A and B are shown apart, each in its own frame.
Chain A
Amino acid sequence: MAEQGPMTEAMYYILLSLLRPGHGYGMMGRIKELSGGRLEMGPGTLYGVLSRMSREGLIVLTGEEGRRKTYAITPAGREALLAEYGRLRRLVADGAILEEAER
């Protein structure tokens, strides 16, 4: 797996959604749900990111129902997701001074 830099929003949410294995269309619904309706992922974006993360070993194809392909997150993907989550938490924590400044 290549050295993982900061993730794009699409990668982050796709990995989050794949904590429970699913196919493309199902993932789109789950991402919308996880983001509270804020993020409506397009099928082109989704498919492009899935292909890339599959090549990078972050997700894996687990089954096919007709033309639909089911993916799941790999241990490497889970590790990358946790690392990104930690990074985002640190960013948010560092940004807490904004709230103090606003008071």
Chain B
Amino acid sequence: MNRTYRFHPGEYELGENEKFYGDMEARGWRLERRGGCLSRFVRTEPGGARYRVEVSSRRFLEDPALAEGQLAVFEDCGWEYICSQGFLHIFRAGPGSGAPEFYNDPAEQAGTLKKVRRDLFWGAAAMVLVLALAALSILLGVWKAPGQIGAEQLKRFVQFPTAYAAYALWLAWTPWQTAWGLWKINRTYARLKRGLPLDHSPKGNRILRRALNRGLLALALLCLLLTAAQLAGVRTRDLPAEPEGPYLMLEDLGWTWERGSLYGGRESAVTYTRSLLADCWETLEVQEERAGGRQVWMRQSVYRLRFPGMAEALARALMEDAVFARGGEDFRAVEAPGLDAAWTARDMELVAVRGDLVLRVEALLEPLDRFDPQEICAALAERWAAF
């Protein structure tokens, strides 16, 4: 194996990066390229090369590359330019090259860090502002429509829990990394301002922080992989003649017209999604009366939960997030033998629970008052008993 990849220290840990790359070369791995999280190394003779990191600051959207003139001076002094990542530029000097240290005056180096520190500070301020605005919009949304945003989020969370977990990890990771970067850069800056040169071989135990960073990253990657696998497994197909899940068919309610399509061409279909928290079926069934041109349709969202304790909360969320009702307050409880509970609203919607199964159904029947919650509950109890 001639190449290997390793997680490198954060971009604001200048001395740690220099030591890390020097240690890798001492073990026979020479830096080839640095990426966002990983560095790529190529096999070489173990040796005592020195690595040094230079930083550059640039205005918004400006190229962070080092100026050609600066590169020429560094290379003339015996430093070999290896690679850059963002504002970090990494140089190497072989043993016995006699290349001088980048800075003989720590105050001068503090000047370069000052710009990086300022950029990081404003970046962090912008991030805080964005997060604050996001939080404010959520709070305003909750205030204007209590429960609806939470309901929508709970429904999506049941369907895509790993995507939510990846997002939550990202939300935790970004401020943590920024805060760490600010602390490190301020500490280095203060050291240089005191006239002490950069510590090129800092001591310190990075094991805990490294484990935490790698753990978070591995978890986020796992969540993204699971989400990708889940999305790849989402299947939408024509609604079969016989139900293949715990959902109802219009035939169960006595409708035997021909299959049809809604305005816009939407046909009868079922979408199946399997998440870590639930199996989910979303159906649409449309029937048309061939002679009279009348049409009926029924749409369902059915969840079989892995944790039945979530059933009631999900049922409440489905009521809050109802299509025709204005929210949970529009629903009234109905007698539902064979089910744990059921609620209906506006003669068009019904939410029902039994054990680990939760359903919401919306239907537009002909005539409108043909929507009979008791009949739907009875059909559902029969279907779920057999499922």
Which residues of A approach B to under 8 Å, CB–CB? 8-10, 23-25, 28, 39-49, 66-69
Contact = CB atoms under 8 A, between A and B. Distances in A.
Interface stretch (B74-82, B120-128, B165-173): B74-82
B104 A24 contact: no
B71 A40 contact: no
Nearest to B54: A44
Contacts of B105: 8-10, 42, 45
B276 to A, nearest CB: 51
Given A24-B69, A66-B72, A67-B71, A43 B107 contact: no
B77 A25 contact: yes
Given A23-B73, A45-B109, 20 more contacts: A8-B108, A9-B105, A24-B72, A25-B77, A28-B100, A41-B100, A42-B104, A43-B70, A43-B73, A43-B79, A43-B102, A44-B108, A44-B109, A45-B104, A45-B105, A47-B67, A47-B73, A66-B72, A68-B69, A68-B72
A46 B79 CA distance: 14
Contacts of A46: 73
Contact of B100 (A23, A42, A47, A67): A42
Contacts of B107: 8
Nearest to A67: B72
Given A42-B101, A42-B103, A43-B77, A48 B108 contact: yes
Given A10-B108, A25-B77, A45 B72 contact: no
Nearest to A10: B105
Interface string B114-152: 000000000000000000000000000000000000000
B68 interface: yes
Contact of A69 (B72, B101, B112): B72
Contact of A49 (B54, B77, B108): B108
Interface in B46-79: 54, 67-74, 76-77, 79
Interface of B: 54, 67-74, 76-77, 79, 100-105, 107-109, 111-112
Contacts of A44: 54, 74, 102-103, 108-109, 112
A69 B69 contact: yes
A67 B69 CA distance: 6
A1 B71 CA distance: 28
A42 B108 CA distance: 10
Contacts of A8: 105, 107-108
- Of A10, A42, A48, the most chain B CB neighbours within 10 A belong to A42
B198 to A, nearest CB: 10
Nearest to B79: A43
A44 B69 CA distance: 11
A22 B77 CA distance: 15
Nearest to B72: A67
A77 B155 CA distance: 70
B215 to A, nearest CB: 36
Nearest to A27: B73
Closest A-B pairs by Cβ, 7 of them: A44-B102, A25-B76, A24-B73, A67-B72, A69-B69, A45-B108, A43-B73
Nearest to A68: B72
A40 B69 CA distance: 19
A20 to B, nearest CB: 18
Contacts of B76: 24-25, 43, 68
Contacts of B68: 67
Given A9-B105, A25-B77, A28-B77, A40 B100 contact: yes
